[in-house]
Amino acid sequence: MTSDLPLITVYTRAGCGLCRTAEAVVDEVADGRARVERVDIDTAPELRARYTFRVPVVAVDGVELFDFHVDREQLAAALARARVPRRGETSG
């Protein structure tokens, strides 16, 4: 079920070249292993204030992992960890 997959959130903005590069890496790594959500920081003042000098920012399940550059291998490792239930938890 797709809702059981980790969620990658990419904070981005229009005209950001680094954002396009990061989105391509995220799409490649996430392919079938995670859901991807793109958030345009210019849609809300609080997002713009928080991220304006940091985009792209990439988070996995709400934990911010990357600013500016997304490392393909580190993102894949983060997804692998996110998919493993912790002790006492179930995956469903």
pLDDT greater than 60 at residue 90: no
1 three-class SS: coil
pTM: 0.85
Residue 3, pLDDT > 80, answer no
pLDDT at 83: 75
pLDDT tens digits, one per residue of 13-46: 999 999 999 999 999 999 999 999 999 999 999 9
Q: Enumerate domains of the chain plus CATH numbers.
A: 12-82 (3.40.30.10)
Rounded to whole angstroms, what are the CA distances from 91 to 18, 26, 46?
Answer: 34, 23, 33
